């Protein structure tokens, strides 16, 4: 079964060229072309493509806003940005809007075909230059002294985590710490929220990895 592609670009010659190349691939089919962001949204509603190859700079509605609207209305549609823009603001905004891939227009068609298949499979695909840019942006946002995650826990929460990792159940932990079962449950929920871990198995693995438990 062919992947259904919608091409959104405000230059007719670009759309026609992409269609001709895409349709040489046995597993890819172009179902529609759009010359603006609003047309891309309208045609995506009508044709329900698997992937929209989206230019960023378009009239009427830009590709970033079109991506945001498409992801809200049609969450099953994947967006692959294809642009000449290498400005960090454009790249970050379209990825935040919901694009799962970003290629530059100077790429070879073989890479575009690979990227289409990747995003259709719910994978992220970024051009090497874009990957470098995204990593630099991420690194710039990390605080110089990032606290170790378990340092976010109170002393009592660390005690609870260690007992969880030791295989103790809620009643046993409550008895060991001389607190109520409800207090232990509340502390466990707080630990999970702070560490972004949501199962006993994950908490145990975390405690072992961070040296909070001697189990291994």
Please write the tens of the pLDDT for every residue from 3-62. 999 999 999 999 999 999 999 999 999 999 999 999 999 999 999 999 999 999 888 899
Q: Are residues 120 and 182 in the same domain?
A: no
Tokens found for residue 53: 């190859």
Q: Are residues 87 and 177 in the same domain?
A: no
Tokens found for residue 143: 């605080």
Quote the CA–CA distance of 5 and 48 in Å, as a whole number. Answer: 9
Q: What is the pLDDT of residue 208?
A: 77
Containing domain of residue 183, as a range? 149-209
pLDDT band at 144 (very low <50, low <70, confident <90, very high): low
In a domain, 215, yes or no: no
Tokens found for residue 54: 């989206």
List, in sequence order, every beta strand (DSSP E) within the chain. 3-8, 28-34, 51-54, 78-83, 101-104, 125-126
pLDDT at 111 over 60: yes
Q: Are residues 20 and 89 in the same domain?
A: yes
In a domain, 160, yes or no: yes
Q: Any idea what the CATH number is for the domain that residue 178 is in? A: 1.10.10.10
Q: What is the pLDDT of residue 146?
A: 47
Q: Are residues 126 and 164 in the same domain?
A: no
- Percent of the chain at pLDDT exceeding 70: 91
**Averaged pLDDT, 156-178:** 89
DSSP 30: E
- 3-state SS class at 24: coil
Q: Are residues 22 and 81 in the same domain?
A: yes
Let me know: does 157 contact 147? Beta carbons within 8 Å. Answer: no
Predicted TM-score (pTM) above 0.85: no
Q: What is the pLDDT of residue 141?
A: 67
DSSP 151: G
Which among 89, 122, 141 is the end of a domain? 141
Q: Are residues 37 and 123 in the same domain?
A: yes
pLDDT in tens, 69-102: 999 999 999 999 999 988 888 888 899 999 999 9
């Amino acid at each position: 079964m062919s992947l259904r592609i919608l091409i959104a670009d405000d230059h007719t010659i670009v759309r026609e060229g992409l269609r001709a190349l895409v349709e040489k691939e046995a597993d890819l089919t172009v179902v529609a072309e759009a010359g603006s962001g609003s047309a891309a949204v309208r045609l995506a509603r009508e044709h329900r493509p698997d992937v929209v190859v989206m230019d960023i700079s378009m009239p009427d509605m830009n590709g970033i806003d079109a991506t945001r609207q498409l992801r809200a209305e049609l969450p099953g549609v994947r967006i692959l940005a294809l642009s000449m823009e290498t400005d960090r603001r454009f790249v970050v905004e379209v990825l935040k809007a919901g694009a799962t891939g970003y290629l530059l227009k100077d790429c070879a068609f073989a890479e575009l075909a690979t990227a289409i298949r990747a995003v259709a499979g719910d994978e992220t695909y970024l051009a090497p230059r874009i990957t470098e840019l995204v990593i630099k942006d991420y690194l710039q946002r990390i605080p110089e002294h990032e606290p170790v995650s378990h340092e976010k826990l109170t002393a009592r929460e660390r005690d609870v985590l260690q007992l969880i990792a030791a295989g103790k159940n809620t009643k046993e932990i409550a008895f060991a710490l001389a607190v109520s079962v409800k207090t232990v449950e509340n502390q466990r929920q707080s630990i999970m929220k702070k560490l972004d871990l949501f199962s006993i198995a994950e908490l145990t693995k975390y405690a072992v990895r961070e040296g909070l438990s001697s189990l291994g």
